Amino acid sequence: MTPHESTSRRIGAPHQMVNAFDTRVSSGISAVGEHDWDALVSDNNFFNSHRWLASIDNALGNSEVLTVWSSSGLAAGCALWDGERVSGLFYLPDYFTDMRGPWQEPFLWLGGRRSTHNEIPCVAGERRTQYLRKLGLAAADIAARRGLAGFVSPYMPVPVALEFAGATGGTLLLHSAEAAAPIPSGGLPEAMAAWKSHDRVQSKAEISAFERKGNRIEWTPINENIEALAARLVAENRARYGSKQGSAWMARLLTGQRQAGVLQSAVAAVASRGDAVTALTIFYRFGEAFHARYFGCDYDLPDNDFRYFVLTYYAPVNYAAAKGLKHFRLSTSALKAKARRGARIEPLAAVVKLTGSASLEPDDVERHNNSFVGTFQREYAGHLSHEWPIVNC
């Protein structure tokens, strides 16, 4: 579809926008061409790729998409949504409990729905800051017209958050972290050679225990049988940690992915013992990055074989190395376990811009960010990426 589809509407006066900038809101990602969009998406930003956003639209209903167009075509864009109103990963009052702000009020959320890694798809080059600024101004205008407290772009890697905050006049607030690791060409043996001795010994013992229990691993595309198996096992794992989203919800997400073509880039590591499947992890390839997303487990079968660690951390490094991949993305959960198995911990920030003349207290912002950095320096010493600490947030 072209940028002039009827599902899009322009923001602002046309005579101000039509040549240099044309800013639009569309009713879903399908209003934007896949090639145009993905040309702006980095390998690490898979959960803002066109097919992933389309899969979420298929499963949960369309999210709006804000885009900035230049005379050369698409220049920047992001999905828009409302966040969630229950405590959890996408509930703003949980983010900044130590500082004053209108966190209980509704905000406009920028980035992929339920994504824990958000970068703003945007062209590179000397006009990049202008396009980011235009997108931010448009988002702030939408928030103001809808009577919202402002916009928030959460789970942004710090370098891109600094860039976006600088372009938009927003405030950078640290609130989470994610795990990532390089994938050496020599696979797991080369990766483990760089680990601390204690971590290396522990990991070898876990792999040995997995094998002694008679487990084997099969790497397989996501067919309908794997979809059904994943829906059941992932829901079982999530229920163990308090989720009320059952297998039907997970099946709907996977169906949406299949319809959008996402599953063409997916693969599952499936662990079996005899004729019984004990667990699986689903991964997605995007460019040179390998993204771990879903783990499922049959807890009726004793899980004292370290299947989670083997499927999610160890086996994928060898698999990805054999495929020529370079970056392993491990999301935001179980950070200590991931750090002990070779991952580095990278900071994530929200860029917040309040509507009107409202603002956050600079002293509160500095105190919050410094406290966040200090906590991670104490808990993850030796495992932090080079983005820590943050200066002049």
Tens digits of residue pLDDT in 226-238: 999 999 999 999 9
| 223 within domain boundaries | yes
Predicted confidence (pLDDT) at residue 3 exceeds the cutoff of 90: no
Residue 105 has which token pair?
């009020």
| 248 within domain boundaries | yes
Given a contact cutoff of 8 angstroms between Cβ atoms, the answer to whether 115 and 47 are in contact is: yes
| 148 within domain boundaries | yes
Distance, CA of 271 to CA of 296 (rounded, Å): 10
| Summary mean pLDDT of the chain | 93
Same domain, 151 and 66: yes
| 192 within domain boundaries | yes
Same domain, 43 and 166: yes
The pLDDT of residue 241: 85
pLDDT tens digit sequence for 46-100? 999 999 999 999 999 999 999 999 999 999 999 999 999 999 999 999 999 999 9
The pLDDT of residue 20: 67
The pLDDT of residue 262: 98
The pLDDT of residue 242: 81
| 251 within domain boundaries | yes
* CATH number, domain containing residue 351: 3.40.630.30
Same domain, 106 and 250: no
Same domain, 47 and 154: yes
The stretches of the chain forming alpha helices (DSSP H) are: 14-17, 34-38, 50-60, 128-145, 158-168, 187-193, 197-212, 224-240, 247-260, 307-309, 315-322, 335-339, 362-379
Same domain, 156 and 235: no
The pLDDT of residue 247: 95
Same domain, 163 and 201: no
Region for residue 42 given its phi and psi (left: phi exceeds 0; alpha: psi -120 to 50; beta: otherwise): beta
The pLDDT of residue 5: 34
Task: Decide which of 325, 357, 387 is a domain's last residue.
Answer: 325
Predicted confidence (pLDDT) at residue 8 exceeds the cutoff of 80: no
Distance, CA of 223 to CA of 355 (rounded, Å): 47
Same domain, 41 and 172: yes
Same domain, 45 and 170: yes
Average pLDDT over residues 219-229: 97
Given a contact cutoff of 8 angstroms between Cβ atoms, the answer to whether 322 and 184 are in contact is: no
Place of tokens 């905050």: 165
The pLDDT of residue 270: 98
| 390 within domain boundaries | no
Q: Model confidence at 10, in pLDDT bands (50, 70, 90)?
A: low
Predicted confidence (pLDDT) at residue 17 exceeds the cutoff of 50: no
pLDDT tens digit sequence for 172-196? 999 999 999 999 999 999 999 999 9
The boundaries of the domain holding residue 258 are: 184-325
Q: Total domain count for the chain?
A: 2
Residue 171 has which token pair?
């405030």
Same domain, 16 and 67: yes
Predicted confidence (pLDDT) at residue 281 exceeds the cutoff of 60: yes
| 330 within domain boundaries | no
Predicted confidence (pLDDT) at residue 117 exceeds the cutoff of 60: yes
| 91 within domain boundaries | yes
Average pLDDT over residues 118-128: 97
The pLDDT of residue 392: 47
Amino acid letter, 274: G
Same domain, 124 and 99: yes
More reliable by pLDDT, 172 or 3: 172
Same domain, 136 and 39: yes
Burial of 40 (C-beta count, 10 Å sphere; 0-12/13-18/19+): buried
Same domain, 21 and 167: yes
